Amino acid sequence: MTLIDKIIKLKKEKNAVILAHNYQRPEIQDIADYVGDSIGLSRKAMEEKEAEIIVFSAVDFMAESAAILNPDKKVLLPTLGARCPMAQMLTVDEIKRWKVHYPLVPVILYVNTLASAKAYCDICCTSANAVEVVNSLDAETVLFGPDHNLAEYVQRKTGKTIIPIPERGFCPTHLLFQPEDVQVLKMKYPDAVVMVHPECSVEMQNTADFIGSTSQMCRYARKTNAEKFIVATEEGIIHRLRKENPRKQFILAYEDAICPNMKLNTLERLYMALKKEKHGVSVPEPIAKKARKALERMFELKS
């Protein structure tokens, strides 16, 4: 029996579901019940009624969100050390420090934050709905964290004053993309459409024909007539894009754009986590209660 067969068998026996982020390894995406971005996975986790176990193949903050939204289920992370460095950049103390200076200004936090930080925000957002979330608030100034590139993107789109907290929070993987690499690729593929994730630098965003989250990129690639795409986000997305669009060509804007944290998850680790039901993720209820409110407020807006 192959490892994949063993995982599928175990999944059935334990009534488990596997959710995988778009940045996961191809072999994990292929066995997952659902592959998506932060908002899609959070929604899926929230809607999941049958399964008793959710194996969340991604990084810490996403599994935490699943645990917050599903307090009665067991949420497992295949690798305990799969942590998002950007999420670690915003602490509760930092939020409190900014709130002293802006006591009446709402705090909007990207879902790429730890549960402890979410508990101190008014509403969460993802890269797919950040503009919509900011526009929904009756406030001209907001505190927004932790990604300052996404903050700048939202400021351009909404015309509101977006104060990034911390001042320079960033995703190390998305900062690897450089406009010069896009220029070189554009010489080779002049008719290619450039898709850029808003976690990339503003200079990179300026090279884009389309800016969006990973799921928005997938939708755009499916709908547009373009046949070639230069893609600026973590390399895991290329697998899904090629699978969904076998006749189209996808070129990563920087071939080493790999998130080492996302890639810590392997089939072996996923299997062991499910078999031993280890690396359970839970959030203390007082924190979960507040963080859930911020997440649910975002979902209500969407619906």
Asked if residue 234 binds ligand SF4 (CB under 6 A), the reply is yes
Asked if residue 171 binds ligand SF4 (CB under 6 A), the reply is yes
**Which residue of 90, 204, 259, 287 would you call a contact of ligand SF4, by CB under 6 A?**
259
- Cβ closer to ligand SF4: 18 or 171? 171
- Cβ closer to ligand SF4: 174 or 239? 174
**Which residue of 7, 86, 133, 273 would you call a contact of ligand SF4, by CB under 6 A?**
86
Distance between CA atoms of 191 and 26, rounded to whole angstroms?
27
Question: Residue 224 CB, nearest distance to ligand SF4 (Å)?
Answer: 24
Question: Residue 161 CB, nearest distance to ligand SF4 (Å)?
Answer: 24
DSSP E strands: which ranges in the chain?
A: 16-21, 34-36, 53-57, 74-76, 107-110, 123-125, 141-145, 161-164, 193-196, 210-211, 228-232, 249-252
Q: Angle, nearest 10°, between helix axes 60-69 and 285-302? A: 90
Kindly report the length of the chain: 303
The 10 Å Cβ neighbour count of residue 300 is 10
Question: Residue 113 CB, nearest distance to ligand SF4 (Å)?
Answer: 10
Side-chain-side CA neighbours of residue 261 (13 Å) = 19
Residues 69, 295 contacting (CB under 8 angstroms): yes
Tell which positions 93-132 bind ligand SF4, by CB under 6 A.
112
Question: Residue 261 CB, nearest distance to ligand SF4 (Å)?
Answer: 5
Tell which positions 189-218 bind ligand SF4, by CB under 6 A.
none
Which stretch, 6-14, 63-71, 159-167, 257-265, contacts ligand SF4 (CB under 6 A)? Answer: 257-265
CA distances from 218 to 1, 10, 67 (A): 33, 30, 26
Question: Residue 117 CB, nearest distance to ligand SF4 (Å)?
Answer: 14
Question: Where do we find the tokens 């499910």?
Answer: 274
Question: Residue 83 CB, nearest distance to ligand SF4 (Å)?
Answer: 8
Question: Residue 122 CB, nearest distance to ligand SF4 (Å)?
Answer: 22
**Residue count, binding to ligand SF4 (CB under 6 A):** 14
DSSP assignment letter at 102? -
**Which residue of 7, 19, 41, 84 would you call a contact of ligand SF4, by CB under 6 A?**
84
| 3-class DSSP state of 250 | strand
**Which residue of 193, 262, 283, 291 would you call a contact of ligand SF4, by CB under 6 A?**
262
**Which residue of 261, 271, 274, 298 would you call a contact of ligand SF4, by CB under 6 A?**
261
Query: Binding marks (x or -) toward ligand SF4, 28..67, rule CB under 6 A?
Result: -------------------------------x--------
Distance between CA atoms of 235 and 73, rounded to whole angstroms?
31
Closest CA to 53 of 35, 70, 28: 70
Asked if residue 75 binds ligand SF4 (CB under 6 A), the reply is no
| 3-class DSSP state of 56 | strand
Q: Angle, nearest 10°, between helix axes 214-223 and 236-244? A: 30
Question: Residue 190 CB, nearest distance to ligand SF4 (Å)?
Answer: 29
Which stretch, 84-92, 101-109, 281-289, 291-299, contacts ligand SF4 (CB under 6 A)? Answer: 84-92
Q: Angle, nearest 10°, between helix axes 60-69 and 38-47? A: 30
- Name the site residues for ligand SF4 (rule: CB under 6 A): 23, 59, 84-86, 112, 171-174, 234, 259, 261-262
